[in-house]
Amino acid sequence: MTSETLLENLLGLLPEAARPELRGRIEAALAAQARGDGKDEARAMRYLKDLDIFVHVSGPQFMYSRGIAETLRVGEDIFELAYAMKRAMQ
């Protein structure tokens, strides 16, 4: 699976109207992580897999995970994006 396929799968969870905005936010997050060192695809896959996990985590567990973001390998920004996706899915 490629990062583009995973991105399309994540966007497929959303209503059509929410897709362009959230695609832009996801692509901006991926671009911010790009370093041009040949590992960008792996970095993008890890980010998208993490985002997929957080989008599918239920409410209480999501809030707990967000609370311990500093100890996870992800930053607070991924939770903001996952939360926006969760809200759009409702």
Average pLDDT, the chain: 89
Q: How many domains does the chain have?
A: 1
- Helix (DSSP H) and strand (DSSP E) numbers for the chain: 5, 0
* pLDDT per position as a tens digit, 46-61: 999 989 988 898 888 8
Report phi then psi at 13, rounded to 5: -75, -20
CB 3 within 8 A of CB 41: yes
Q: What residue numbers bound the domain in which 45 lies?
A: 3-89
- Check whether 12 has a pLDDT greater than 90: yes
The predicted model gives 2-21 an average pLDDT of 96
